[in-house]
Amino acid sequence: MSDSVVLQLTKDLLARASVTPLDHDCQGVLANRLNSAGFNCESMIFGEVANLWARRGTTQPLLVFAGHTDVVPTGPLDQWHSDPFIPTERDGLLYARGAADMKSSIAAFVVAAEEFVAAHPDHKGSIALLITADEEGPSVDGTVKVCDELSRRGVQLDYCIVGEPTSVAALGDTVKNGRRGSLSGKLTIKGKQGHVAYPQLARNSVHLLAPALLELTSQQWDAGNDYFPATTFQVSNLHAGTGATNVVPGTAVVDFNFRFSTESTPESLKSRVQAILLAHQLDYDLQWTLGGKPFLTPKGELSAALANAIKQETGVDTQLSTTGGTSDGRFIARICPQVIEFGPINASIHQVNEHIRLDTLEPLKNIYRRTLEQLLLDKV
Q: Which residues are known binding-site members for Zn(2+)? A: 68, 101, 136, 164, 350
- The residues, any chain, with a CB within 8 Å of residue 99's CB and separated by 6 or more, are 10, 14, 87, 348, 354, 355, 356
Catalytic residue among 135, 328, 341, 373: 135
Query: What are the φ and ψ backbone dihedral angles of 243, each rounded to 5 degrees?
Result: 100, -20
Which phi and psi angles does 332 have, rounded to 5°?
Answer: -65, -35
325 vs 180: CA distance, rounded Å: 7
User: Edge-to-edge strand order for the sheet containing 181-190?
Assistant: 232-240, 251-260, 181-190, 284-292
Assess whether the previous peptide bond of 61 is cis (omega < 30° from 0). yes
Catalytic residue status for 283: no
Annotation says 135 is catalytic: yes
Residues contributing to the annotated binding site: 68, 101, 136, 164, 350
Q: How many helices (H) and strands (E) does the chain have?
A: 9, 19
Strand partners, 62: 126
Residue 108 and residue 16: Cα distance in Å, rounded?
17
Of 157, 112, 27, 146, the closest CA to residue 306 belongs to 112
Identify whether the C-beta of residue 181 lies closer than 8 Å to the C-beta of residue 328.
no
| Active-site entry in 23, 70, 141, 328 | 70
Q: Are 306 and 65 in contact (CB under 8 A)?
A: no
| Of the candidates 303, 368, 378, 293, the residue with the CA atom closest to the CA atom of residue 338 | 303
Short-list 295, 303, 288, 276, CA closest to 374: 303
Query: How many Cα atoms within 13 Å fall on the side-chain side of residue 284?
Result: 26
Q: Return the CA Rg of the chain.
A: 24
CA separation (Å) from 18 to 21, 51, 98, 343? 7, 13, 9, 20
Distance CA 217, CA 81 (A): 42
Q: Name beta bridge partners: 340.
A: 161
Q: Cis peptide leading into 44, omega within 30 of 0?
A: no
Catalytically active residues are: 70, 135
